[in-house]
Structure 1
Amino acid sequence: MVAPALVLGLRGVQVVFSIIVLGLTAYLVNAFTTPWASWSPHSLNFMLFTSVWTLLAVAYLVLSPTRFPRAAHNAFLWLTFLATTVLAALHIRRTPRGDTAPPPDMAGV
């Protein structure tokens, strides 16, 4: 069994990194905003979503065992982990191995 203090420390590190990613990504999204248009690349939008979602997930993982024990189902956490693993495996399987496309031009970034 993992010590609760170790798990809480890990969740704290996740929150810190998520806030860092949120701040840096929000800065980049703001750089794409002009007085005439508000557009940002999809990858930045996804990173923004991921950092906010991570904050929500960590809040659930920290609060549910202590405040809402009926909502803290280990089977539910295991099923979401399994679903994520299956989706990642399907993505890897569908990605062509002989992809010879050049990498995107990052000179303007």
Structure 2
Amino acid sequence: MARRKKTEPASAAGTPLVLAGVLDIAAAQHLRQHLGNALDAGDPLRFDARAVERIDASALQLLYACVQAATSKGMSCTWDGVSEALCTAADLCGMRDSLGLTGHAP
């Protein structure tokens, strides 16, 4: 069984929101809280998802909602790093473009 890691919130503007470990339905509430806090801060969103080991559709939906909310607020969203697991899951769900992952290779 893969170990679960919690996401770490951005501590200051320009610091990426680190996504790591297993992001699944069990981690969804925690992930939602951190994504909401990042949106509320109003700073451009930067994600570092290099350490994502596994991600399910619930976490992808949360990331999608966050990216859409940020876009509607005029906030930019960038990815500093993306794991193979995230790219594969996004591809399987047809969400690579929606998440802004086009051009990112693990």
Query: Relative contact order (C-alpha < 8 Å, sep 6+): which is higher?
Result: 2
Q: What is the TM-score normalised by the length of structure 1?
A: 0.26
Greater per-residue helix proportion: 1
Structure with a larger share of its residues in strand: 2
Largest Rg, 1 or 2: 1
Which TM-score applies when normalising by structure 2? Answer: 0.27
